[in-house]
Amino acid sequence: MNYLDENQIRQLTDSFLSAAKQAGADDAAVNVLAYRNESARFSRNQIIQNVEQRQNNVTLAVAVGKHQASVSTDIISRESIQQNAKKAVEIAKMFPENPEYMPPSKPSEFPRINAFDERTDQVSQQEKAGIIREICRNVAKEDLLAFGTLVTGHTIHAAANTNGLFAMFPKTKAELTLTVRTQDGKGSSREIQDHYLFDALDIDKTIQNTIQKAVRSKTAKEIPPGDYRVILSPTAAMNYFMLLFWTLDARRIEEKRSALNSHFKIDQITDSQLFSSNITIHSRVNHPDHPESPFSIALSMDGYAGQGQAATVFSDGLPVGNYPIIENGCVRKLFYTAYWAYHKGIDITGFPTLIEFQGSNRSIEELIADQERALFVNSFWYIRFVDPNHLLLTGLTRDGVFLVEDGAITTPVKNLRFNESPLVSLQNVISLGRPERRSAWFNTVLIPPFVIDNFSFSVDTDAV
Amino acid sequence: MRDFLNLAIEYMKEQNVTYGDIRFGSYQWQNISTRNTMVTNVSDVQSEGFGIRVFANGGWGFASNTDFTPENIRTTVKRAVEIAFASALTQTNGFHFASEKPEHIVWITPYDVDPFSVPISEKVDLLLAINSKLMKRSAIKFAVSGMNFAKEHKYFMNTEGTFTDQLLIRVDASYTATAIGPEGFESRTYTLIPLNIGYEHVHKAPLLDETERIAEEAIALLRAKECSCEETDLILLPSHTCLTIHETIGHATELDRVMGWEADMAGTSFATIDKLNNLKYGSDIFNVIADRTQKHGRSSVPVDDEGVKTGKWHIIKDGILTGYATTRCTSHFIGESQSRGCSYADSWQSVPILRMPNVSIEPGPVDSPSLEELIADTKRGVLVDGMGSFSIDHQRINFQFGGDCVWRIENGKIGEVIRRFTYQSHNPAFWNSVDVICRKDEWQQYGVVNCGKGQPMQRAQLTHGSAPLRLRNISIGRAKI
């Protein structure tokens, strides 16, 4: 066996919690992150880097009264556990009480969700190199260049605390990223596939799609910047919409630090129709095809615009639920940190680990066929806040952008910079397609292609 | 430690590797953050392990581990070799690897006070005192402050006989005041220049003295007029050029990116090798230096993470592209027989990759103006301080940046603060519009502490210096909702 099993994780968390108690902690919580990551990276049709990484990292958070501190280490021995526990308690005692102190999460019953696949964890280096060789041969046959990564491995997250909570979620990972570029550098495209099952990656489809789009993107034409109807691929939609969730933090809204405050009156934010009626987004747990953690790890959205980070290991292990976040354009659920939920007398749930955007059964091709004139965007790049007051974002198209005319892609166009707000775009959604799985920074999303009106581009670029 | 490293080298030789190295890393980080009157986070992090990199049978392999027993060192070496053999299955073009002479260096970041020897309570008291002063202004509803310290101790040995023992010490701190009112919210940040130095950097900094100005400017930003959409002159302060240099020159001249090795994620570059020695990257007075030896630089170190002595060279001379950042695998692409020493790994478990060195704009000639004289010489423009929104395309051509605080300049005088400022431009036109760079005594180094690159992603930290400089006729205010 090449990974820590439940007994070993329990022994580890128990050792840290006992040591913390012995060192004088009143409360303690442990977060374990154990992983093995194998990543082969190829460029110009050959592997240029091939690495294996493994690490077991433990974060111990303690409270002495309401004085708190945390330590992290990957040096795991009896001595280091005791030293770290002692250090955490000593540091905690130096500080003023935390006025927003919350005790560790209560224990919960979590559904058994299987996202660990032995085959995926044990794919050999030779097999992966063989796949990359085939990808490169296929791409080279078309006189093109392949760049990308093939990644396998696993991650184990565990949370335990002195309130009796123990939660653990092992998950395997398989990911292929493929960029294909033309030899003259005038055409380029990219596709990503990821799954917890290695055998679920559709490698042939990825190769064919990427080759086709790269060739089609060659010699892009210039179009004037301005407002366009856009068809965003699921990747582009994920790139663009994920920052939306940071506006849904209840405390930020009440303290008038959310972009929602600039767009809507505070008493209208929940249950009023803020967005197009076809926008419905759910938190999901125990999805049959996309198993994700039934509990959340410490995450705070309270870190922007002067609030300071408030992530705490004491909030680890909150159960994730099935609930609507936005339903038919109405916000149904705001997110609460443990302290703010307590302060407001609201039951807290964990931050979603799987976010599902409702779509339709229609393919991207069908969405394109509906449009008289639009731009199809394959992905976005380098998205950043311009003005957090309005969730005004900037970024650029990448990996292929095409003019759609009379229901068909007609012309590749040069990449464009946008300055636009997802809060505005969600009021301009014309139609949606079939959702696809994508991995975001902190969770997984099922997200459809979007057709959106009046999407604002401010300048183009020669970048390919 | 030498015995441990020697053992790994011995095992690599047993496996007949063409080249091999071992890097042992012991890391310590301390992060403290506060909000208003409370400590929001104190964390103390330790990490130790080793990484084995080999070139064998024509392929590269890397494996890492935390178990230091001889048996496990042997297993990790074997694993790296096994991975290299798998990589070799795809090789079509082969690899060049610049030869370097063996180095023996023991080195420590120059510092006076070990930041980890200073009691945490002293650091917390200072941060809470800063917050308290910021919040004296009633419009300031949030004050956030933090400090970060790091010790990175690396031992390196390779099959060519190089041995290094290098200790980096890093210090940075910052605080932010957020004003909230009917106009929305706006923040202003004070940044203690991130350097590789000891805690004396904090002792000498005017952290408390600057609170009043920072709070006042946050409120001024909240109440300021919107940035208009126009073309105007920019005067950029070193606190701002830091990020512009980083994004538009530093990344664009990383030779791995130029050759397409980053095409799947970080992107490529417009500054391709056919343009070496002929691309007009900037105006005639524009000179850019790469330097991994400058004192207290965030990427300064005598020997890089593949055993190459670091140095100093021009990337842009008299406005012309003259050089790139290189490693042992990439230097041959521009006909150079040796690496410039730009290899860096952010952890023992990360494989070294090409990272930009400290990249800085040289000051103007001796008769160049001071900042005050430059402002007096500017009829209409804006003065940009600090880093704001930043976004650049994947070939480093088009970019859009903001600032932390920006003032209008009218008839040679600094005027009102303006809100929601952005400028848009593109390479190489932007740097060709530089008409004045202030003189040497105005030159300052600033730092980028969170530069992501690579697959798997790694974090690098760099220093970028400049004197204030002026650019003519740049488009501002085009980012509107």
Q: Name which of B384, B387, B298, B33 is nearest B175 in CA terms.
A: B33
Q: Is B401's Cβ below 8 Å from some Cβ in A?
A: no
Mutate to test the interface with B, among A95, A124, A181 (most CBs of B within 10 A): A95
A294 in Cβ contact with A110 (< 8 Å):
yes
pLDDT at A299: 52
The alpha-carbon gap from A356 to the nearest alpha carbon of chain B, in Å, equals 26
A324 in Cβ contact with A333 (< 8 Å):
yes
Residues B274, B218 share a domain: no
Cα(A214)–Cα(A148) distance, integer angstroms: 14
Write out the two tokens for B4.
């441990």
Cα(B429)–Cα(B445) distance, integer angstroms: 24
Length of chain B: 481
pLDDT at B119: 93
Residue for token digits 């009112």?
B181
Q: Which of B175, B207, B223 marks a domain boundary?
A: B223
Residues B211, B338 share a domain: no
- Chain A residues within 8 A of B41 when measuring between CB atoms: 70, 309-311
Q: Name which of A267, A264, A320 is nearest A291 in CA terms.
A: A320
- Chain B residues within 8 A of A380 when measuring between CB atoms: none
Give the nearest chain A residue to B329 (CA atoms).
A48
Write out the two tokens for A122.
């044990």
- Cβ-defined contact of B84 to A50 (cutoff 8 Å): yes
- Chain A residues within 8 A of B61 when measuring between CB atoms: 50
Interior angle at CA B398, CA B393 and CA B401, nearest 5: 90
- Cβ-defined contact of A51 to B64 (cutoff 8 Å): yes
Percent of chain A, pLDDT > 70?
Answer: 97
When divided into structural domains, chain B yields a total of: 2
Does some domain include residue B215?
A: yes
- Cβ-defined contact of B481 to A421 (cutoff 8 Å): yes
Of B37, B44, B178, the CB nearest to A306: B178
Cα(A256)–Cα(A266) distance, integer angstroms: 8
B251 in Cβ contact with B442 (< 8 Å):
no
pLDDT at A303: 39
Q: Is A207's Cβ below 8 Å from some Cβ in B?
A: no
Residue B254, pLDDT > 50, answer: yes
Q: Which of the two residues, A442 and A185, has the higher pLDDT score?
A: A185
If DSSP codes are grouped into helix, strand and coil, which group holds residue B431? helix
The predicted-structure confidence for B1-28, as pLDDT tens digits, reads as follows 999 999 999 999 999 999 999 999 999 9
Compute chain A's Rg from CA coordinates.
24
Q: Can you name the CATH fold of A6-210?
A: PmbA/TldD fold (3.30.2290)
Cα(B384)–Cα(B469) distance, integer angstroms: 10
Q: Name which of B338, B312, B303, B344 is nearest B104 in CA terms.
A: B303
The predicted-structure confidence for A366-376, as pLDDT tens digits, reads as follows 999 999 999 99
A262-281 burial code (b ≥16 CB/10 A, e <16): bbbeeeebbeeebbbebbbb
Half-sphere exposure of residue A108: CA atoms within 13 angstroms, side-chain side = 22
- Cβ-defined contact of B90 to A461 (cutoff 8 Å): no
Of B49, B389, B481, the CB nearest to A384: B389
Residues B77, B215 share a domain: yes
Of B90, B124, B349, the CB nearest to A47: B90
Mean local confidence (pLDDT), A282-296:
94
Whole-prediction pTM value? 0.96
Cα(B354)–Cα(A52) distance, integer angstroms: 19
The alpha-carbon gap from A361 to the nearest alpha carbon of chain B, in Å, equals 30
Given pLDDT bands bounded at 50, 70 and 90, which one contains residue A298? low
Interior angle at CA B397, CA B391 and CA B399, nearest 5: 25
Residues B148, B110 share a domain: yes
Half-sphere exposure of residue A455: CA atoms within 13 angstroms, side-chain side = 28
Does some domain include residue B481?
A: no
- Cβ-defined contact of A71 to B43 (cutoff 8 Å): yes
Domain with CATH 3.30.2290.10 in chain A: 6-210
Residues B469, B372 share a domain: yes
Of A46, A383, A461, the CB nearest to B91: A46
Q: Which of B190, B223, B256 marks a domain boundary?
A: B223
Q: Is B227's Cβ below 8 Å from some Cβ in A?
A: no
Question: What is the edge-to-edge ordering of all strands in the sheet holding A444-447?
Answer: A330-331, A323-327, A281-283, A354-357, A444-447, A436-439
Residues B359, B338 share a domain: yes
* Range with lowest mean pLDDT among A105-109, A197-201, B91-95, B314-318: B91-95
Q: Is B265's Cβ below 8 Å from some Cβ in A?
A: yes
Residue A324, pLDDT > 60, answer: yes
Chain A 415-434, residues with CB within 8 Å of chain B CB atoms: 415, 417, 419-421, 424
Q: Which of B169, B204, B223 marks a domain boundary?
A: B223
* Range with lowest mean pLDDT among A24-38, A69-83, A414-428: A69-83
Residue A290, pLDDT > 70, answer: yes
The rounded mean pLDDT for chain B is: 96
pLDDT at A70: 87
A47-81 burial code (b ≥16 CB/10 A, e <16): bbbbbbbbbbbbbbbbbbebbbbbbbbbbbeeebb
Residue A12, pLDDT > 50, answer: yes
Of A96, A387, A392, the CB nearest to B39: A96
Helix (H) or strand (E) holding B203: helix B200-204
Give the nearest chain A residue to B94 (CA atoms).
A46
Cα(B420)–Cα(A47) distance, integer angstroms: 44
Instruction: Spell out the SS3 assignment of A9-27.
Output: HHHHHHHHHHHHHHHCCCE
Q: Is B72's Cβ below 8 Å from some Cβ in A?
A: no
- Cβ-defined contact of A421 to B398 (cutoff 8 Å): no
Residues B286, B178 share a domain: no
- Cβ-defined contact of A55 to B66 (cutoff 8 Å): yes
Of B124, B265, B400, the CB nearest to A417: B400
A335 in Cβ contact with A344 (< 8 Å):
no
Residues B408, B450 share a domain: yes
Domain encompassing residue B453 = 226-476
Residues B239, B163 share a domain: no
Sequence-distant (6+) residues with CB within 8 A of B84 are A50, B17, B54, B55, B56, B57, B59, B60, B61
Q: Is B390's Cβ below 8 Å from some Cβ in A?
A: yes
Q: Is B391's Cβ below 8 Å from some Cβ in A?
A: yes
Mean local confidence (pLDDT), B252-278:
98
Task: Tell me: cis bond preceding A319? Omega within 30 of 0 counts.
Answer: no
pLDDT at A440: 85
Residue B467, pLDDT > 90, answer: yes
Chain A 130-149, residues with CB within 8 Å of chain B CB atoms: 130, 132-133, 136, 145, 147-149
Half-sphere exposure of residue A200: CA atoms within 13 angstroms, side-chain side = 17
Cα(A176)–Cα(A191) distance, integer angstroms: 8
Strands A444-447 and A436-439 turn out to be: antiparallel
Residue B166, pLDDT > 50, answer: yes
Chain A 287-346, residues with CB within 8 Å of chain B CB atoms: 305-311
Mean local confidence (pLDDT), A449-464:
97
Q: What is the ipTM of this complex?
A: 0.95
Residues B231, B131 share a domain: no
Give the nearest chain A residue to B34 (CA atoms).
A308
Q: Is A70's Cβ below 8 Å from some Cβ in B?
A: yes
E-assigned strand segments in B303-428: 312-317, 320-321, 343-344, 353-354, 359-361, 380-385, 390-392, 398-401, 405-410, 413-419, 423-426
pLDDT at A300: 45
Interior angle at CA A394, CA A41 and CA A258, nearest 5: 110
Given pLDDT bands bounded at 50, 70 and 90, which one contains residue A2? low
Helix (H) or strand (E) holding A399: strand A392-405
Residues B428, B325 share a domain: yes
Residues B214, B232 share a domain: no
- Chain A residues within 8 A of B478 when measuring between CB atoms: 419, 458-459
Does some domain include residue B57?
A: yes
Residue A309, pLDDT > 60, answer: no
* Range with lowest mean pLDDT among A58-62, A433-437, B279-283, B415-419: A58-62
- Cβ-defined contact of B41 to A311 (cutoff 8 Å): yes
